[in-house]
Structure 1
Amino acid sequence: MERDVEKELLYRLGLGESSGRESSAVDIEGKVRQIYGQLVAEYSGKPVRNPYEIQRLLRDRYKLLVSENLVKLVVAAFLAGRPVLFEGPPGTGKTEIAEAILTLWAGKQAFIITCSENYDEYRVIGDFHPLMALRYGFNEASFIPRPLLAALILDAGVLVDEIRRSSEELQNLLLDIIDKRRIIVPEIRRVFRARGIGFQMIFTSNPEDFAQNELSDAFLRRVVRIPFRYPSPEEEAEIVRLRYDVEVELEPSLLKAMIMTVNILREKAAYKPGPSDTVLWARIAGRLAKLRGANKVEMRDVVEAAVITLYKRVGEEDIVDEALEKVFGQKPG
């Protein structure tokens, strides 16, 4: 039974006898294509390197409102061989915008690495599978490539989300990759180098969040930092209209009141709702109206939807209720 399980695992990784070739002949590049090929094929298109075209596609395809200046800064940084750090409050679109830009730039679906304290080189570059290492030794046959190495080999982009949650060791590991556009795997005596400019990195960070680490000066010197801020009321209204996906009318006056409410909470509450929260609030309110058979969102839909979209932290419900009562003249019943 154990032998059958081992054969099945090796076969799935393209290393077993059923693969039609010896395990030692399966190189790292081949494994990357086997394991990650389907992911990068999820988006199939030509690389887009023109900032104006990127901005248009962000709006039309991804429903993301991104300034021309931000896109130009990202493109200029990529052409200068530097990764980008998107830094700002949560809910302002950092992750979605980063993933979309990286995908368009490379013409392949971007990889996403969501950081945590226990992320190390083995979880982002690669490690050895214990079963295969016992059989083949610590060499290419037993080495399993991870997302960062796969992206470099496939010339795809990498979104490193919440970089401040990573360890100092991981940040230091990234320095050589940023500088030399290469990944060294000493255990198998291989140096992998980027073959094109599709391999780019964007980091995201919310410096005001809790339980985070500082970014070193060495790391900050190597990235181009682009700050994110909450949008103006006019911009936020445009974001909501762009992403509102219900065939029920949401009147501008109601939307204006919703944005006024979230801006009060950004000043008074510990959990500060971002534009993504406003979008969700509008979508839920629209669906509540649709469930009633209405063709227009009413105030009661908005107030009712606030319960599941704005109540985030225990103990802050009263702050939300006060804001709703101040703006709409009523609070959830």
Structure 2
Amino acid sequence: MAFRSTDSYIVSEQLASAVNAAVTLQKPLLLKGEPGTGKTRLAQELATSLGTNLIQWSIKSTTKAQQGLYEYDAVSRLRDSQLGSDKVHDISNYIRPGKLWQAFTAEQRPVLLIDEIDKADIEFPNDLLHELDQMAFHVYETGEHIEAKQRPIVLITSNNEKALPDAFLRRCFFHFIQFPDEDTLAQIAQVHFPDLQQKLLNEALGMFFELRHTPGLKKKPSTSELLDWLRLLLAEDISAQQLAESRQRQSAMPLTGALLKHEQDVELIERLRRVN
């Protein structure tokens, strides 16, 4: 397998090498980087390029590691016993496979995405160490031993909201997605908007990077926000000349709601514009 950029998805050589290395080593690929740099999209594109299924486990603050293996629905079993259902005699009727179980038993080697692992409790990664290392687990209620038919390709994303345990990090291949440079962003934009005029793209990227480099921003605009902004510029038929004039006059950027997500950042940009 050699994962690389496609006509519809641009990746850096470093990121492509990281994916291929993790697959070769049969280790989970831990991806970090600021939100909006395409960590989740990478898993989708990898599954598409391999012609396989993507199994996505989106982590929340309340998610427990056990839910990735299976859940035992004791409430339904109690209700069925009260109703006299014959189902209660087979406890497997109340075992609900989780995302890891689904990935382990898939007929075709899937891509398993554990998305935003740092949202969960600090013990969450440690609770998955054995299962991700051995690719197997035990179902205590039924006595079953679930073992992967073939090791799924595991991608794990983190936005660095919490530090991850060293024992967990040792079992992963790590890659930090750097924010794309202007040339790479131009390629990404052209993939999404093939009819975008070069002059408009150049002006938009110039304004975008000036905004990103503004000191004191609480949240810098990301790749996904740039694409939203470009879509709006095209929808509103804003020309490269209009952007250039706005830039020269130090006037407000059009449609900044697609780029700035905090009122403090909006106020900061307005204050700097008035000073200049």
Q: Are 2:126 and 1:150 equivalent residues in the alignment?
A: no
Structure 1: state its 5+ residue gaps: 1-48
The alignment's C-alpha RMSD in Å is 2.8
The CA deviation at 1:321 is 4.4
Corresponding residue for 2:10? 65
Task: State the TM-score, normalized to the length of structure 1.
Answer: 0.69
Equivalent residue for 1:286, pick from 212, 234, 247? 234
The CA deviation at 1:93 is 1.2
Corresponding residue for 2:70? 126
**What SS is found at the alignment partner of 2:92?**
coil
* CA pair 298-149 structure 1, distance change in 2 beyond 3 A: farther
Alignment of 1:56-95 (within 5 A): 56=5, 59-60=6-7, 63-95=8-40
The CA deviation at 1:144 is 1.1
CA distance in 2, matches of 1:97, 1:130: 37
Corresponding residue for 1:196? 150
CA distance in 2, matches of 1:242, 1:276: 13
Q: Which amino acid aligns with 1:74?
A: V
Query: Which whole-Å deviations, capped at 9, do the CAs of 1:199-248 have from their partners, x for residues lacking one?
Result: 121111122xxxx3220000000001011111111111111111126x5x
CA distance in 2, matches of 1:104, 1:174: 27
Equivalent residue for 2:159, pick from 166, 189, 206? 206
Percent identity for Structure 1 against Structure 2: 24
**What SS is found at the alignment partner of 1:188?**
coil
Equivalent residue for 1:318, pick from 254, 267, 271? 267
Corresponding residue for 1:261? 207
Query: Which whole-Å deviations, capped at 9, do the CAs of 1:133-192 have from their partners, x for residues lacking one?
Result: 223168212111122211221142211111111223321222112211113222221221
CA distance in 2, matches of 1:125, 1:227: 28
Equivalent residue for 1:104, pick from 44, 49, 54? 49
CA distance in 1, matches of 2:12, 2:65: 35
The structure showing larger relative contact order (alpha-carbon pairs under 8 Å, at least 6 residues apart) is: 2
Query: Which whole-Å deviations, capped at 9, do the CAs of 1:268-327 have from their partners, x for residues lacking one?
Result: 3111111221111111111111xxxx8x6652699775333123101221334478899x
Corresponding residue for 2:187? 238
Corresponding residue for 1:225? 174
Task: State the TM-score, normalized to the length of structure 2.
Answer: 0.82
Q: Which amino acid aligns with 1:254?
A: L
CA distance in 1, matches of 2:90, 2:270: 60
